[in-house]
Amino acid sequence: MKFPVSRYITSFIVLCLSYGSVYAQNSAKVSGVIIDSVSNEPIDFASVTLLTQQNNQAVKGGQTDEKGNFVFSTIPAGTYILRASFVGYNAFEKKAIQISQGQHLSLGKIKLSPAASTLLKEVVVEGTPPAMQMGIDRKVFNVEQSIVSEGGTASELLANVPSLSVDMDGNVGLRGSTNVRILIDGKPSALAGTNINNLLESLPANSIQRIEVMTNPSSKYDPEGQGGIVNIILKKNVRTGFNGMATVGGGSYHNYNGGLDLNYRDEKFNYFGSYNYRKRNSPGSGFNNNWYNDGTSVYNNSENARKGNSHTVRLGADYFLNEKTTIGLSGNLNIRDNIRTEDLFYSYFGASGALNGNSTRNTAQDEDDKGYDINLDFKREFSREGEELTANVSYGRSKEDGIQTFKQTATNEAIPIDRDRINDTYEDGKNTNIQIDYTLPFSKEQKLEAGYRTTLRYDDEEQLSDALNNETGAYERDYNLTNNFNMDDIVHAVYANYQNKLTDKFGYQVGLRAEQAYLNTEYISWDPNVAPEDRITKGRLDYFRIYPSVYLTQEFNHDQSVQLSYTRRVNRPRGWMVNPFVDVSDPLNLRQGNPGLKPEDIHSFELSYSKKWDKVNFTSSVYHRITNDVIEMIVDSASTGTNATFSRFQNISQNRATGIELISQITFSPNFDLMANVNGNYQAFKGSEDFGVPENSGFAWDANLTGNGRITKNLRAQIRGEYRAPRVMAQGEMKEMFMVDAGLKMSVLEDKGSIMLNVRDIFNQGRFGGTQSTAQFTREFQRRWMKGPFAMLTFSYRFGRKAPEQDERQKRKENGQDFQEEGEMQ
């Protein structure tokens, strides 16, 4: 099958460039950066308005980005007033700003001074940040307004972000790839242990401020992840005085949550802390049916549940040593217990189709997890504008202790079953991160970034397995499944990025990152029948790589630009991918890691076009990704005695993915807006003769649509729909999936409180499934971890101090007198 990608790419480029030429005009532009006058820190999402000097009419308005920057384009020549404000700060106003035709006026740094703290009767949040903002190498999604995710987890929130998807195993996908690097506040989280999905399922959605999606991150960032990087930024209040918010909620299947966020800031210190509790219960179901070449078949239906309690504590303080130096110390603690049960019901059929018997297997897992990390941050600004030095040192540790029990019975003695079993598991992980970044600007358009980073991760995993001896009635140690596995994952990196403009409209950024990586594994058998010198098997992966990144950007008038980029990336094997422990949860479908895996080598190309109209923000990308040494879970055998399948991670040559992504945000009126995302890609797996995997290719697409509406002054509604079309895998195809979520949010108690009701998976279609084919059998499977629809009711209450000048602003908003462009830079 051939897909005429080149024809579509050529047409796309011609369309983009033609559009820029048609609309090119000589219009003016105004830019600047909003900062805190005390700490010199940028103020993200500050409100900025440009008004005419003659009649005080607002012509442009919006919020600053995550670095405090704002840009207003397509401005007629004239005299203007600029106003800037943010909760907890005195308003800023600059008059008599002369703007000439075609001029690009930079106002530089605009300092907002903290307002005198005055206890008021109400607290309001000024404006609403735009749902999406664009950076040179990322898209920033402001998720605080996601009603449909309220009361949920980080996993559920990520599933509502355009470009991202989350499967039923909690794996985050980006543009058809689930090899995505997940960062918390720009760093790998030590709280997660070897499985980031466990942390995402326990992290409350309301603790997240924004999510950054980097499909082609620059050399400054870790090149880990085939699809790119997802950076989760946690909330950290910066308002002057004392502020806080309390939250409590409950929902279907006895799910509950609650939390308290506190913050106090003065001229020298900013203290912040939070506590969140979550009680989770997720009942699910599924099936796994196998048809073998000898004509026999085994049908497997399952009922499962995941229950648990999670406690998350975050404490920290920033010390403003002087106007240009800030030191921060923070820590996170996560304690959770997980109770997972699964009942498997097997039906065995002979070659003639007759039922030979049934079997039932009950699995129960009780696990206690705890993790913490400590972070020391330093930031120093120098006399030259934009020159700064930042550093971070963090250390974290996570532990897991669990007991897993298996019991199986059969109606026919001829049916092979696994013996009753008890597994005692233990995991201890340590993670250290050391990072230094330096930025040196030579001019407004020219700068150099350089830095160093070391990550050290050590994991010790242990499993003791005892199987029931039916003759004696006692449990005996099974040394085939009793072992110890240690892993050292070490990466040392240096990088440099250079950014400049050749013309007023054409700029570039080039970078190089050099990494020396080690992956040392040690498998220890405890079998007394094995000679001591043969009990330890060591593995070592030692490689040095250079990761370049190139960005070429052409700007046009009328807020449009085209960018071409290339980056080299890597997907390192880690965690359960390399752990050789055999997962016996389903004895007819065994799984195992592979300590001999090689890292994937990824080359990513992307062409992006963005355009802004008065009410529309549009961005589109054509991308091509080449992945060598692809890591896939390969089903490569079926036992003739038991018909048990065996799956193992393997490297299988190459995968090529070519696609197009469209994202558009449309504001129809101050009371209604839409955000739409469509992504289509063509995947081609070369396969592998060594593992009997044939070539496989196909086109897949997915789309989501989110609508936000204001029904009354105090009542807002949100609805989101998502569709994922069938897509190819290395050994089969994933089935389609469709989900719809909806929510309502009502402001109460004079805007100090809010009541939110959301329902997820309204039509009960949230299923994850597909088919697999090998030389020995064919499989159809389906899983779901939450039976829909699922409803959650949440109440939040805000309290604290704000700047007095915000009262007038709130009155203007309530009377509908605020400028309509608020929330977007135009």
Give the DSSP letter string of 197-208.
HHHHHHSBGGGE
pLDDT at 197: 66
Closest by CA to 479, choosing from 496, 464, 459, is: 464
Return d(Cα 298, Cα 587) in angstroms, integer: 12
Cα radius of gyration (the chain)? 28
- CB atoms < 10 A from the CB of 366, how many? 16
Peptide bond into 789 cis (omega under 30): yes
Return d(Cα 555, Cα 560) in angstroms, integer: 6
Write out the two tokens for 556: 């046009």
Write out the two tokens for 303: 């009922």
Return d(Cα 210, Cα 213) in angstroms, integer: 10
- Beta-sheet pairing, 753-760 with 78-85: unpaired
Coil, helix or strand for 814?
Answer: helix
Contact present, 143 and 163 (Cβ < 8 Å): no
| Residue whose tokens read 């006399």 | 383
Q: 712-715, long-range: CB within 8 Å, 24+ apart, which pairs?
A: 713/814, 714/746, 714/747, 714/748, 714/751, 715/744, 715/745, 715/746, 715/747
Residue 493: exposure state from Cβ atoms within 10 A (0-12, 13-18, ≥19):
buried
Helices (H) and strands (E) in the chain, counts: 4, 46
C-alpha distances (whole Å) from 101 to each of 23, 77, 801, 817 are 16, 5, 43, 29
- CB atoms < 10 A from the CB of 152, how many? 28
Beta strand ranges found along 596-653 (DSSP E): 600-612, 616-628, 631-638, 645-651
Residue 352 is given by DSSP the state T
- CB atoms < 10 A from the CB of 4, how many? 9
- Beta-sheet pairing, 118-119 with 790-802: antiparallel
Closest by CA to 86, choosing from 41, 119, 51, is: 41
Given its phi and psi angles, is residue 820 left (phi above 0), alpha (psi -120 to 50 degrees) or beta?
A: alpha
- Beta-sheet pairing, 737-748 with 732-734: unpaired
Phi/psi of residue 306, nearest 5 degrees? -120, 120
| Residue whose tokens read 């002087």 | 322
Phi/psi of residue 10, nearest 5 degrees? -60, -45
Phi/psi of residue 206, nearest 5 degrees? -75, 0
Return d(Cα 311, Cα 330) in angstroms, integer: 17
Return d(Cα 726, Cα 743) in angstroms, integer: 28
Closest by CA to 150, choosing from 201, 89, 206, is: 206
Given its phi and psi angles, is residue 5 left (phi above 0), alpha (psi -120 to 50 degrees) or beta?
A: alpha
Residues in the chain, overall count: 826
Coil, helix or strand for 154?
Answer: helix
Given its phi and psi angles, is residue 143 left (phi above 0), alpha (psi -120 to 50 degrees) or beta?
A: alpha
**What parts of the chain have a pLDDT lower than 50?**
1-6, 8-10, 12-26, 116-128, 802-826
Q: Which amino acid is at 636?
A: D
Return d(Cα 41, Cα 27) in angstroms, integer: 31
Contact present, 672 and 709 (Cβ < 8 Å): yes
- CB atoms < 10 A from the CB of 530, how many? 12
Is this prediction's pTM over 0.95?
A: no
CA angle 755, 207, 824 (to 5 degrees): 80
Return d(Cα 647, Cα 582) in angstroms, integer: 10
- CB atoms < 10 A from the CB of 156, how many? 23
- CB atoms < 10 A from the CB of 55, how many? 6
Contact present, 547 and 511 (Cβ < 8 Å): no
pLDDT at 6: 45
pLDDT at 176: 63
Write out the two tokens for 6: 């080149």
Write out the two tokens for 422: 């008890």
pLDDT at 824: 30
Contact present, 377 and 187 (Cβ < 8 Å): no
Coil, helix or strand for 598?
Answer: coil
- CB atoms < 10 A from the CB of 354, how many? 8
Give the DSSP letter string of 442-487.
SSSS-EEEEEEEEEEEEEEEEEEEEEEETTTTEEEE-TTS-EEEEE
Per residue in 157-181, is it b (16+ CB within 10 Å) or e — as a string? bbbbbbbbbbbbebbbbbbbbebbb
pLDDT at 329: 94
Contact present, 308 and 280 (Cβ < 8 Å): yes
C-alpha distances (whole Å) from 170 to each of 202, 347, 549, 670 are 11, 29, 30, 35
Return d(Cα 779, Cα 654) in angstroms, integer: 24
Domains of the chain: residue spans and CATH: 5-119 (2.60.40.10), 132-814 (2.40.170.20)
Which residues does residue 376 pair with via DSSP β-bridges, in sequence order? 329, 393
pLDDT at 91: 81
Per residue in 760-783, is it b (16+ CB within 10 Å) or e — as a string? bbbeebbbbbbbbebebbebbbbb
Write out the two tokens for 88: 């907890």
CA angle 499, 505, 507 (to 5 degrees): 20
